[in-house]
Structure 1
Amino acid sequence: MPFIEPDWPAPANVVAYCTTRRGGVSRAPHGALNLASHVGDSSAAVAENRERLRLALGCEMQLSWLDQVHGVAAVEAQLQSCPAADAQWSRQPGLACAVMTADCLPVLFCAQSGDVVAAAHAGWRGLQAGVLEATIAAMATPVTQLLAWLGPAIGPDAFEVGPEVYAAFMQSDTAEPAATRACFRPSPDRPEHWYADLYALARVRLARAGVTRIYGGDCCTYHDSARFFSYRRDGETGRMASLVALRPGD
């Protein structure tokens, strides 16, 4: 099963991966490794894909899933339920925090001390509302200890947004509006529309929260159809998973 491994200087006991669309059993338009149960795919195919992922990670690894709602709630990872939240954290070895995306930005976190990890689903709504800041707070560790990796998301040349998105970010940033404004480029074809850079917006939010070691942010789900699902490109489609865990047995 093809994985993307974050290029970040995480501690040796931290494992992190992002799936691609390859390696599963789902049929078009969800083919092949769709991991989401809410997109119209066969439940049997999703179950098989999730089991293949678990086996690829190793028999000692378990995955904690969320019912993602584009909010800011950050919860402790668990196996017993699938809470409505958009971020989760774990101090339990072998329990992976997973978030699903198909254009939204997945952000993985770990502490340099190697005792806590987290994953956040940051679509524009959650990003603007503060899901990254909520995740950092939930990890309850000194912010100077944190590393963040920005996983595959829609790139700045593909994410055109309307005036309501631009206004929402600008209205919520009274401390340093110039930094947020620089993350938007006016559309040359549609008045009052903008191209938004989710990666840059996340870097602004993370840096303002005190996270200085930020990695990743060099993919585009929209333009790389061979590897990634993209809701903006395809409409009905599957979801990838980005996950991070403390290595079992450590």
Structure 2
Amino acid sequence: MTAPSSDQQREWQPAIKAMTPDWTLPAGVRACFTTRENGDSVGPWAAGNLADHVGDDPQAVLRNRQALQSQLGAGVTPAWLSQTHSTHCQTLQSTLPAEPPQADASWTREKGLACAVLTADCAPILLTDEAGTMVAAIHAGWRGLANGIVAETLKNMPVPAGALRAWVGPTIGPAHFEVGPEVLAQFKARFAQADAFFQPNRSGQESHYLANLPGLVKIALLHEGVRDVTLSGLCTYADAERFYSYRRDGQTGRQASLIWLT
């Protein structure tokens, strides 16, 4: 099937529930993010799990990935990664490696290769340049973000940060992401304005905080010179019907965010 226009948010055919971001993209660039609503997985992974490392039936994951592939179309191939909360960015060439590379970000100029990341509370970041010549995807958990995965990814990309557009997909919202003081300390060491994104929690005790992960992703992007940043506003923890959340459920599946050149 032909991918829908990226400036309208609407459902694709229902084998795997996939949506187009509410995000303006250049001509020739497409993006989508999946939900958990349809698919073949059962139990804690129900139903559209796309991750093969979370204990789900491998055949169910394969069927879900094949269903997604069918919706993307014959000319589009998702480039899955083996994500480890690292700061490594993989450059995708026309021929993909036999096994998913260990990386938490990827970028490409190749048409039909979809940069893809899997998340269940961490932030998926999709990127393209204003001319629509390249695309990238980042898996940004708090560790990767604090360690500089945004900066490391942008170093690999052959366009200036000021020419990029970014979209931050479904992630755990600021009302649900409790962290300890060590997390605040790591972000304060990296970003001078980090304090504003941590609120004391547990009846005023300052030993625990509610962290605004989408806000931290945005300041990381702005810090590196990306001026055009769109936040989806979608919370994985609060929206149990549509999204997997590790913080909420523990053993669970993963949704995907993908971007590609047509």
- TM-score w.r.t. length of structure 1: 0.94
| Sequence identity percentage | 47
Specify which of 109, 128, 131 is matched with residue 110 of structure 1: 128
Specify which of 13, 31, 36 is matched with residue 51 of structure 2: 36
Superposition pairs for residues 13-28 of structure 1, below 5 Å? 13-28=28-43
**Alignment pair present for 1:67 and 2:82:** yes
Higher relative contact order (CA 8 A, sep 6+): 1
Q: Which residue in 2 is equivalent to 1:93?
A: 111
Specify which of 223, 228, 231 is matched with residue 238 of structure 2: 223
Q: Which residue in 1 is equivalent to 2:198?
A: 184
- TM-score w.r.t. length of structure 2: 0.90
Distance 2:228 2:206 in 1: 36
Superposition pairs for residues 69-218 of structure 1, below 5 Å? 69-77=84-92, 79-80=96-97, 81-173=99-191, 177=192, 179-189=193-203, 190-218=205-233
Number of residue pairs matched by the alignment: 243
Distance 2:70 2:78 in 1: 11
Distance 1:76 1:50 in 2: 22
Distance 1:84 1:41 in 2: 20
Aligned-pair distance for 1:29?
Answer: 0.5
Report the RMSD for the aligned CA atoms in angstroms.
Answer: 1.1
5+ unaligned residues in a row in structure 2: which ranges? 1-13
After superposition, the C-alpha distances for 1:44-79 in whole angstroms (9 at most, x for unaligned) are: 000000000000111111010101010110011252
Distance 1:209 1:122 in 2: 15
After TM superposition, the structure 1 stretch with the greater mean CA deviation from structure 2, 17-26 or 188-197, is 188-197
- Cα 1:102–1:152 change in 2 (3 A) is same
One-letter amino acid of the structure 1 residue matched with residue 104 of structure 2: D
Contact 1:65 1:82 in 2 (8 A): yes
Aligned-pair distance for 1:216?
Answer: 2.1
Aligned-pair distance for 1:138?
Answer: 1.2
After superposition, the C-alpha distances for 1:128-182 in whole angstroms (9 at most, x for unaligned) are: 1111111112111022210000000000000000111111111233xxx2x2110
Distance 1:241 1:75 in 2: 17
Question: What SS does the corresponding residue of 2:43 show, helix, strand or coil?
Answer: coil
Distance 1:187 1:56 in 2: 43
5+ unaligned residues in a row in structure 1: which ranges? none
Specify which of 36, 51, 56 is matched with residue 71 of structure 2: 56
Distance 2:62 2:41 in 1: 10
